[in-house]
Structure 1
Amino acid sequence: MNAGERPFLDIADVTVSYGATRVLDAIDLGIREGEFVALLGASGCGKTTLLRTIAGFIMPDAGTVSVNGRDVTRLPPDRRGMALMFQSYALWPHMTVAQNIGYGLKLRGHSRADVARRVGEIAALLGLEGLEGRKPAALSGGQRQRVALGRAIAVDPAILLLDEPLSNLDARIRMNLRHELRALQQRMGITAVHVTHDREEAMEMADSIVILDRGRIAQRGSPEEVYNRPASAFVAAFMGAENVLTLQGAMDGGAFSIAPGPFNAGCRVAGPLPAGGVEVRFRSEAAQLAPADAAPSTDEGTLRLAGEVASTGYPGGVWRHTVRLGDPAEGGAVVLVDAPQPFAPGQAVSVALAPQTFFVFPAAGALPVSPPDSRPADRSRRLEMQQA
């Protein structure tokens, strides 16, 4: 969201507790009109609680929820201009497709003719023509998902809330419906907030990803930003950089020098970082695997590791190797590395990580050299707007 732009959906300092357990801790999040935002995180991180707080099913202990400048924090769900699509679809089993889609319109007092017209438009839009007379039991999972979506958008919501609506579908249907749902959201210009635990789903569908960790925003950014520039070791791991090494080093001029170790050569990376231990993370597909006697890289930013292949498997497309670095009893590590061809178990290998393919963070318990502003970026922008 650009500086000076007022959020269409504005979550300000929202805190929610269940008894003595704080589930959301002063969440600040601004979403612009027409934006598709994915709330991503592990189970228990607070993403569904945040979605239900936005919807009005949970009242926050503190903070506000505003839509287009209007405070809706204490309004019931049906007066917020939002529609929520549930994981279970929640279709009425005794109603037909047409009756399910038109249910919200009927509750709002629309005439029978208006309901029929709108249901026809939605059925055509979602590829449900000819199925209007069927009941949910006679539909496939993908068709039921479309009916649930049709019911949600039939009432022309300003904001569409999606609670893992694709998680009950098989992989092939889920992949197709990701693209259909995203295309529909863009065509209609609806502001959407989508809860998911599926990283790939969030990356493919969202304009912006919000990663939650224990009730707080760990990072918010575009899919490219959170994937290539994770703000913390937690975010890097969640975005697939699950290989982890603990190495030593110190600042040297404007860069951080990783010291040579039992299984790694020295290299220089962008600072600042605290002297001592650092946590290095990388993805299995980011590394280059080669025989141990291969010519080393001359780039001082490349991290080179020496190890031995412990096992080899073929998950599809590439060969995946378990590589043992050093002696685990003496601080060594085991990492996964992909390669286009297999290396035999027991073979000595070199693992090369080019700059920008690995991420370096202060080790657990270490303090950053320059502590960042503790205010979330959205809160900073809100303060700037208020001061303008």
Structure 2
Amino acid sequence: MKGMKVATGLAFFLGVAAQAQAAEPYAKAVLQKNVLTGSGTNVSMNELKVLGAPDNQYLSMGGPGAYILLDMGNTPIVDGIGPDLEIREYGAESGGVDEQYRVSIATADDPTRFVEVGIGTAYSLMDIAATGVHEAQYVYIEDLSTATNSSNTPGSDIDSVTSLHASTSGTLPSVTGLSYTHTNNGVRLSWTPITSSGVTGYNIRRSSDGKRFDTNPKWSVTKLENAFLDLDTSKTSVANVWYAVSATYAGGESALQVIGVPASTPLVLLPETQTVHLGDSIVAAWIDTSGDYRNPSGPKLTLNFTLPDEPRGPTVKLNLQVFDVDYSRNYIVINGHIARSLPQVDNAWLNTSLIIESGEFRQGANTLEVYARDSGGGEASNSLDDFMIKGINLTWMP
């Protein structure tokens, strides 16, 4: 992109300024463009649809080779806390396809030197911090999509470009005070009610990376609500999850306000650095690089731990590592109740997880016991299964 010329004096302004309020944080002008027809007919080639607030009107760029250069006017892209730039592309959730596009930025002082920000799909939030640019005047979007070349809306379908940290007035008010709490049956989001008479409701989206959100909201609530409960607790138990809340108006939708909900922090009961050999026989072959685990510690491992609160959600994930488990009746017992049997594995470490009902745990003192048993599940002398175990931890599902 080096050497790409930007029209001086906004000569390629296309009479757009009157269509976007001066203080709104959206693209103000199209400076250059190359919109393609794909292999058929492109029925959405009006580049002016990219300008202004999100309004469900979009430019179909046409596929690889297509690009558009935008001027952010007096609301440049500013490097702030979190994402700085929001681009809305109509994808799978609106009945089409999630299509890729490359985003680059340039400053007002050096409009021919563009720095790549990243590649987006659908609704994407981008942080410009890694580019070294603190304030970008120009945004260059390059179409990378080949998925819809033969359709009547080929390529990436760009609706709007928003500067998330611009100092603005007169724009659609965004959600403020967004927060989350864990409950016994899900994640509850809450936000400060918007008192503007024009608000019609709120849209809620969920993402696995905090950057890409679906075009269509996963949920919508009325303007009378300022909270929402996500009952799909599995999303927050195994990985981080992000929510985006926006306000809807008769004339469009506000920018997304995003909050991350971290994955549950494991409660470590037996660290990976501490290996325990259960059973009753010396195993000559068991010499680990970090220690000699040939001598057994006995038929049972007991771990005591304290929980300040009752477990949230219906289940708890017990994570552990086991080595050379021969029998299927080596039990894990929680607070005196048999919860699960260890999986069988050959002479190799196995990382595994067991899902246990949260009712087996309680607030306060708890005990987890791991038993080495004989082939029938008993404790016959000199016939116990010999195996190693380490890395035991609990992940609470909110």
**TM-score class, shorter:** under 0.3
TM-score by length of 2: 0.23
Q: Which has the higher strand share?
A: 2
TM-score by length of 1: 0.24
